[in-house]
Chains A and B, each alone.
Chain A
Amino acid sequence: MISFENVTKSYRGSILALRECSVRIEKGEFVFIVGPSGSGKTTFIRLLLREEVPDSGQIWLAGREVTHLASWKVPYLRRNIGCVFQDFRLLPNKTVAENVSFALEVIGRPKHVMRTQVRQALDLVGLGKKQDRLPNELSGGEQQRVAVARAFVNRPLVLLADEPTGNLDPKTSLGIMRLLDRINRTGTTVMVATHDASMVDAMRRRVIELEHGELVRDQARGVYGYST
Chain B
Amino acid sequence: MTMSMEYAAREAAGNLWRNRLMTMTAVLTVAVSLSLLGATMLMRQAVSSVTVNWGKGVNIIVFMHSGATGGQRKAVNQQLTGMPQVSRCYYVGHAASFAEMKRMFRSEPDVYQQAGLTASEVPTSFRCALANPKDAQVVASAFQNEPGVRSVYDPVKQANTIQKVSGIIQLIFVIVAVILLLSAAVLILNTIRLAIFARRREVAVMKLVGATNWFIRVPFMLEGLTQGIIGAVVATGVVFGMHAFLGYVVKHYHATLLKALVVPLHDVVSTVVVVFLVGMVVGVLGSVIAIRRFLEV
Contacts and interface: CB of A to CB of B under 8 A. Distances in A.
Contacts, number: 56
Interface string B202-235: 1011111111110110000000000000000000
Interface residues of A, number: 23
Given A89-B201, A91-B205, A102-B205, A110 B3 contact: yes
A75 B210 contact: yes
A103 interface: yes
Given A72-B213, A91-B201, A78 B208 contact: yes
Contact of B4 (A77, A83, A103, A108): A108
A92 B200 CA distance: 12
Contact of B209 (A71, A72, A110, A154): A154
Interface in B137-152: none
A49 B210 CA distance: 10
A79 interface: yes
Contacts of B205: 89, 91, 102-103, 106
Interface string A81-118: 10100000101100000000011011110110000000
Interface string A150-191: 100010000000000000000000000000000000000000
Contact of A83 (B1, B3, B201, B208): B208
Interface residues of B, number: 18
A226 interface: no
B134 to A, nearest CB: 60
Contacts of B202: 91, 102
A105 B7 contact: yes
Given A106-B215, A110-B3, A150 B209 contact: yes
A77 B211 CA distance: 10
A108 B208 CA distance: 15
Interface of B: 1, 3-4, 7, 201-202, 204-213, 215-216
